[in-house]
Amino acid sequence: MAMVSMRQLLDEAAAGGYGVGAFNVNNMEQIQAIMEAARETSSPVIIQASRGARSYTNDRFLYHLMQAAVELYPEIPVALHQDHGNSPETCFSAIDQGFTSVMMDGSLLADGKSVSDFAYNVQVTREVVERAHAVGVTVEGELGTLGGIEDGVGSGEVHLTDPDQAVEFVEQTGIDALAVAIGTSHGAYKFSRKPDGEVLAMNLIQEIHEKLPTTHLVMHGSSSVPKELIDIINQYGGEIRQTWGVPVEEIQLGIRHGVRKINVDTDSRLAITGAIRKAMSDDPGEFDPRSYLKPARAAMQQVIAQRMTQFGQAGHAGDYEPRSLTEMRDFYAGAAA
């Protein structure tokens, strides 16, 4: 099976009433962990890479690792997504490298830090949509901004998505999926207490979904930051202070109201780091990288499999025949006619 369009994965998720986790990667072990979790749970999956990950891994290494993944796991529908593209050029380079989906984050300027205005966001996002849809590639846009900074991306400011403006944005850009800002943040330190309606505006998702029932919504910054993962890190020499992530039950509420893509990165990082710290502590004389990378990979797989089950995507890998990007190109052309 070749890599497939993210639009198809999200359309099928909408039809089935479930969400699809989008998991960030930087290396081979992370891709292996995700694909093993997908096989374990029979789940379709979105693997995504930030600009920082693409620079760290190198596009050609990343692409060929993904080709190996689809060769070794032919039963798993998998999309390769550019996370937080900061400019049309970044998105175009991802398309040229074989990504099947891109995010144009026009909520920020090209520096990835300064908040943009609505007109700029529409302009750059529409430019990417026109280029991407012409070759069958999916486009995610963002309206509003998240808190926190991760991988050098973020303004550090929270600007919640306006539901009426969201309708205008989707109409003017033609995006496939809309990332909404509801109070979440990138990174581990999302909330200083367990979030409730005062800090996590799940009502916005419901309102936006009512206005845009056929647009796939995306929750960024949606790691749950489990205490048990933090405890392992701290037990073996780490210094992660107490923090709260997005409760799984809130994500499940979002899924019932149109959320189809859920971004998870921090949980994977915590699982990997805890396993590496433990392995090195348990056998301080060991210096074979496999001695700590194997348990790190297994720890990430366990977390990803759990999220796939919680998001409802488990069991849906074989529900449908994958559509090629050529077929998706024709789909977009027909929709525009």
Terminal CA-to-CA distance of the chain, rounded, Å? 30
Q: Are 121 and 103 in contact (CB under 8 A)?
A: no
Fold topology of 6-326: TIM Barrel (3.20.20)
Average pLDDT over residues 148-154: 54
Report the percentage of the chain scoring pLDDT > 90.
83
Q: Quick check: 95 pLDDT over 60?
A: yes
Average pLDDT over residues 164-176: 97
- What type of residue sits at position 94? A
What is the pLDDT, as a whole number, of residue 113? 82
Most confident of 105-119, 141-155, 250-264: 250-264
The closest alpha carbon to 259, from 307, 322, 324, 202, belongs to: 202
Give the number of other Cβ atoms within 10 Å of residue 168's Cβ. Answer: 13
Cβ-proximal residues to 82 (8 Å cutoff; 6+ apart), any chain: 48, 49, 54, 90, 91, 94, 99, 101, 102, 103
Encoding tokens for residue 330?
């024709």
Q: What is the Cα gyration radius of the chain?
A: 19
**Domain definitions of the chain by residue range:** 6-326
Report residue 150's pLDDT band, with 50, 70 and 90 as the boundaries.
low
pLDDT tens-digit map of 183-205: 876 666 667 667 766 678 889 99
pLDDT tens-digit map of 270-279: 999 999 999 9
Is residue 83 annotated as part of the catalytic site, yes or no?
Answer: yes
pLDDT tens-digit map of 277-336: 999 999 999 999 999 999 999 999 999 999 999 999 999 999 999 999 999 999 999 987
- What type of residue sits at position 109? L
User: What rounded mean pLDDT belongs to the chain?
Assistant: 93
Q: Are 93 and 86 in contact (CB under 8 A)?
A: no
Active-site entry in 11, 83, 265, 267: 83
The closest alpha carbon to 34, from 18, 54, 13, 20, belongs to: 20
What is the pLDDT, as a whole number, of residue 307? 98
